[in-house]
Amino acid sequence: MPSSASQTSHLCLVSDEVIANITPLLDSAFRPARAYLAVAPPYTQAAEYLASVFKKLDVACEHIMIDSAWDIERIRDQFMTFMETRQDGDIILNLSGGTRPMALAAHEVFLAYEQPVFH
């Protein structure tokens, strides 16, 4: 597990249910320095709302565009590329949002990279 919240990032899976992505940020001890929002086209409005909330909580935010919310193989490939190319430190997966294929693909990738997951 990362040494402190200020050194971590969260990968959040975006869907219409945004509360699950906001709740962990309410605990200042768990609040990350950065959040990546994995968002598929149907959920761009929810992602914009989340980004505005994260900004108010002083959490930097970046969108990771997912081509399809339902194509698990494509989603897995996109998460693998994300993990291979990101440059920041520790990352934790917030598994509480997104579609089931997004959650399954992200979980599989985070396990492969031996990164922590919560839901």
Q: Which two tokens stand for residue 72?
A: 């698990």
Q: CB-based burial of residue 90 (10 Å sphere; 0-12 exposed, 13-18 middle, 19+ buried)?
A: middle
Q: Could you tell me the pTM of the whole model?
A: 0.90
DSSP secondary structure letter of residue 89: S
Residue 42 CA to residue 14 CA, distance in Å, equals 10
- pLDDT for 11-59, tens place per residue? 999 999 999 899 988 888 889 999 999 999 999 999 999 999 999 999 9
Alpha helix segments (H runs only) across the chain: 19-22, 44-56, 72-85, 100-112
3 pLDDT higher than 50: no
CA 92, CA 72: separation in Å to the nearest integer? 20
User: What is the end-to-end Cα distance of the chain in Å, rounded?
Assistant: 15
